[in-house]
Amino acid sequence: SLPKTATIIEVGPRDGLQNEAKTVKTEDKLAFIHALQAAGLAEMELTSFVSPKWVPQMADAREIVDATKKMGRQLVLTPNERGINAASQAGADSIAVFVGVSNSFNQKNINKTTAQSTETLHPLIEKAKREGIYVRACISTAFYCPFEGAIEAQDTIDLCRQFVDWGVDELSVADTIGMANPQESYELFSSLKKHFPEILIAAHFHDTRRMALANSYAALLAGIDRFDASAGGLGGCPFAPGATGNVATEDLVHMFHRMGVETGVDLEKLFKAISLIEPHVSNSLQTGMYTLYKNR
């Protein structure tokens, strides 16, 4: 049977905007973030503390954290000690670290092998946990890699195991290039629930092949009740060729509500939030529910 509620972790301000060709002004990001929060999206990846040479769109991370102090949890993405320190100095109480199951992808994304990344992150995570920081581990290329192809489920589970052993609060398991199918989603998330019953697990689907909604439903059937999603379907990883946006928050919320799975998100307010950011991004936003809203 389906859960009565599901939690959406909004990643639009981070995954959504990191890949934008145009520079989005800090004030426009903040208006978007505040409108998303007003729509009921209480958990959100606000920004990322990464090298501005690699990802210029996230260069204003400090200002974003400074201006969102009233939000409940301040969750920011970061790959290394420098970013974790900067996030903590800014006052963020939650961090999301990220690593790819695939070496080739991890090297393109953060210039380290997967093993080098985990070796570096291990003491940093234990330190963050001692300081009471909420830690989420984002596991990229959990199904497919743009360079290596199919990933063994066991490799994904083994990588997750390390982070669980180091005390992270949550895993976010990602189909980075939107290639997984619902059967694979059901199988991997069922086995993750079985291996890690004690920990929060979120599903992070990109919609490159329009399978993200079906994959989310399959994960829901596998017992997952946390989903990363991006308002307007914005997003993609700049270092994963072919990656497009995440599953659209509005489409996921609509589907869940139609099935009686509550999310606490107000769709009308969410449409308003999307219409605030749409003029500032390169592409017009074409998700199912948002297009219906625009054509009303």
Tokens of 108: 């393109």
Closer residue to Mg ion in complex, CB, 44/88: 44
Residue selected from 50, 188, 270, 274 as contacting ligand HMG according to rule CB under 6 A: 50
Closer residue to Mg ion in complex, CB, 39/100: 100
Least distance to ligand HMG, CB of residue 225, Å: 19
31 and 49 Cβ atoms separated by less than 8 Å: no
Tokens of 186: 């059901």
Concatenated DSSP letters of 87-120? HHHHT--EEEEEEESSHHHHHHHHSS-HHHHHHH
Residue 83 engages ligand HMG in binding (rule: CB under 6 A): yes
Residue 231 engages ligand HMG in binding (rule: CB under 6 A): no
Computed from CA positions of residues 226, 87, 127, 122, in that sequence, does the dihedral angle turn out positive or negative?
A: positive
For ligand HMG, the binding residues in 234-293 under the rule CB under 6 A are 237, 239
For Mg ion, the binding residues in 2-61 under the rule CB under 5 A are 15
Tokens of 201: 């697990």
Q: Quick check: is 237 catalytic?
A: yes
Residue 175 engages Mg ion in binding (rule: CB under 5 A): no
The contacts of residue 148 (CB under 8 Å, 6+ apart) are 102, 103, 104, 105, 141
Spell 264-281 as b/e; 16+ CB within 10 A means b.
ebebeebbebbbbbbebb
Closer residue to ligand HMG in complex, CB, 214/240: 240
Site string for ligand HMG, 111-150 (x = CB under 6 A): x--------------------------x-x----------
> Which entry of Mg ion, ligand HMG, none binds 190, CB below 5 to 8 A by partner kind?
none
Element at 76 (helix H, strand E) = strand 75-77
Phi, psi of 289 (to 5 degrees): -70, -40
Least distance to ligand HMG, CB of residue 136, Å: 10
- Considering only the stretches 53-61, 68-76, 180-188, 269-277, report the one whose residues sit in contact with ligand HMG under the rule CB under 6 A: 53-61
3-state secondary structure of 27: helix
Which residues are at the interface with Mg ion (CB under 5 A)?
15
Which residues are at the interface with ligand HMG (CB under 6 A)?
15, 18, 48-51, 53-55, 78-80, 82-83, 86, 98, 109-111, 138, 140, 174, 176, 204, 206, 237, 239
* Residue positions annotated with a catalytic role: 237
